[in-house]
Amino acid sequence: MSASRIGFRVLLRDPMGLFGLVLAAVLILSALFAPLLASHDPAAIDVAVKLQPPSAAHWLGTDEIGRDTWSRVLYGGRVALAVALSATFLSVVFGGLLGLIAALGPRWLDQGLTLLFDTVRSYPVIILALAIGPIFGGGMVVLMGLLVATSVPYYGRIMRTSVIAEASSDYVEALRAMGMGRIRIALRHILPNVIGPILILASMDIPGFIMAEAGISFLGVGVKAPDTSWGMILDQGFRYIGHTPWLVIAGGAPLILATLGFTFLGEALRDAYDPRLKRRG
Amino acid sequence: MLAFICRRIALGFMVLTLATASLYVLVQLAPGDPASAMLGPRASPRIKAEFREKLGLDRPMPVQIVNYLIAVGQGDLGIDLKTKKPVVETIAAHAPHTIALVGAALLLATGLGIPLGAAAAVRRNSWFDRAIGLISVSLISIPPVVIAICGMLLFSAHLGWLPAIGAGEGFRDNILHLLMPAFAVGIGWVGYIARLVRASMIEVLGANYIRNAKSFGLTERMVTYRYALRASLSPTIAVLGVGVGVMLGSAAFAEIVFARPGIGKMMHDAVTLRNYPVTLGAVLCATALLVAATTLADILNALLDPRFKENRD
């Protein structure tokens, strides 16, 4: 049986891991099939039924301009997943590449990149988003750019450290002695050996990205209409908190379930595939 | 040691300078020109040109950057477009509320997280340990903004136990107004710190020097709290130093929800008014705060641990 199969079995035996897997699966399926599951067009305005409590026609009620909350929650899940997954992917790719270059490149380049990482990491992300988001006009692309740019240093540093450690191991010495080129060693031998733990760490950062997207959209500087975000629903819920608690529930509950699900799943993945990472707290 | 501290502080200043310059360049890179962004779409070309000249935006980029750095170095962050006073004054009026909030959240995170994590490590694999583990993960997974809104719904709107908005007048009132925001910002960190302390204590408890200490006849209690707990503080301090950045973001949510007049609330209000000098000044201050926190954490760790000579990854 392959290592990935064994890991998957360990994952299924962990109740929290199973719980996380189910939650994540539900979220992914509901996002994929949002057009089928939605009862209304999420952007359709009907002021006659504004701020309604849940009913047979509107399962989660309506917002202040009569849009169907259930449909908006489903489409918000699409946005949350799309942003979180692509931000994770892009951060790992760019961060990993820069980290690899820093570890194997000349010393001045390493120092320059490390300083760049430190500089970008010195911005508090949400505060930066509040200032930069509106200047660049907000929206999904700006939001993604911010999330990726501020996460790249994190993966860059991890990749740099792991590659430096791996590069001093005996088998790399041996390959070098056999006359193999640096770039070939890096891509064919070092990278496959260090990428596993980094991918697991990346899976554990998905809930962080989901939270960041919702948070920045709550502040009104992230996702923009006609797109929908759980953070925007939360913001509406907060503004109309005196009228109805349903918008807060509709925005908050899926957000908590999604972060909880992906957190449990990520932790179970880590425990199943790489118990050494457990120390990361 | 002194050399390390000096080097670390110098690095902090270097990073802060670079971050300031990068922010300036980033803003100039924004689509559309900054003059129309700040003056609004209806400003006439003549006003825009005057504005550009006044801000020195007609000069070459390197000159602009150096001028900006000099101005910031002298504490000149521009003029608040709403109050027409220096941005520094606006920020100085709001910053104490944010610093108090982050401080209270840090207090909550360490005051609850360290004892819980230590207790869980000592009772490893017991039901208590598992419960703490589960609660920790759950706390980490709930976004601060949701905690803040739900806290306000429950404790202010429903039960009426705690004040809902503002920062309060007088010491006792201030504390009462601080409770819910600090809870919203800090509670996730309780879980985070508890897990961190547990993991590093379990590692330390298995180390040779702990076994040695026990074989020398030191009591279990003494070994656990004097040596093992102390050794787990270093990663905690490092994480909290970086964590200040996240807490500043969470503080913004709590401030907006509870209408607490801190930096986050100030920025949120400024965004709607296109008051960019204020938002950019606030980013610089928050960045300076974060750089100071990480620098302080590194120095503190170096002082705590004699082996700790270089800052590690």
Task: Compute the nearest-CA separation of A275 from chain B (Å).
Answer: 12
Mean pLDDT of A243-264: 91
- In whole angstroms, give the CA distance from residue B146 to residue B144: 5
Cβ-based contacts of A118 with chain B (< 8 Å) = 11, 15
Residue of B nearest to A160 (CA): B313
pLDDT at B31 over 80: no
Cβ-based contacts of A132 with chain B (< 8 Å) = 26-27, 283
pLDDT-based confidence at residue B311 (cuts at 50, 70, 90): very low
* B249:A211 CB<8 A: no
Count of residues making up chain A: 281
- In whole angstroms, give the CA distance from residue A32 to residue A38: 11
Could you give the ipTM of this predicted complex? 0.87
Instruction: Look at residue A126 in the predicted model and tell me its pLDDT.
Output: 93
CA angle at A20 for the pair A16 and A24, rounded to the nearest 5°: 175
User: Which residues numbered 78-97 in A keep a CB inside 8 Å of some CB on B?
Assistant: none
Q: Please, which residues bridge with residue B79 across strands?
A: B86
- In whole angstroms, give the CA distance from residue A265 to residue A19: 8
Helix B2-29 / helix A125-135 crossing angle, nearest 10 deg: 20
Instruction: Look at residue A116 in the predicted model and tell me its pLDDT.
Output: 94
The type of residue at B278 is: V
pLDDT-based confidence at residue B57 (cuts at 50, 70, 90): confident
* A131:B282 CB<8 A: yes
Peptide bond into B60 cis (omega under 30): no
Count of CB contacts below 8 A, A vs B? 160
The type of residue at A56 is: A
Task: Compute the nearest-CA separation of A172 from chain B (Å).
Answer: 23
* A248:B150 CB<8 A: yes
Cβ-based contacts of B195 with chain A (< 8 Å) = 281
CA angle at A10 for the pair A5 and A12, rounded to the nearest 5°: 95
What DSSP state is assigned to residue A62? B
Residue of B nearest to A279 (CA): B199
Mean pLDDT of A159-168: 90
DSSP-derived 3-state class of residue B275 = coil
Dihedral, CA atoms, A144, A148, A150, A151, nearest 10 degrees?
140
Instruction: Look at residue B112 in the predicted model and tell me its pLDDT.
Output: 94
Helices (H), chain B: 2-29, 34-39, 45-55, 61-73, 87-122, 127-141, 144-151, 171-205, 208-215, 220-222, 229-257, 263-272, 276-304
Which element (helix H / strand E) includes A157? helix A139-167
Query: Distance between alpha carbon B257 and the CA centroid of its chain, in Å?
Result: 18
DSSP-derived 3-state class of residue B286 = helix
pLDDT at B217 over 90: no
Mean pLDDT over the full length of chain A: 88
Half-sphere exposure of B97 (CA within 13 A, CB side): 28
Q: Which of B150, B200, B286 sits opposite A252 (nearest CB)?
A: B150
Cβ-based contacts of B237 with chain A (< 8 Å) = none
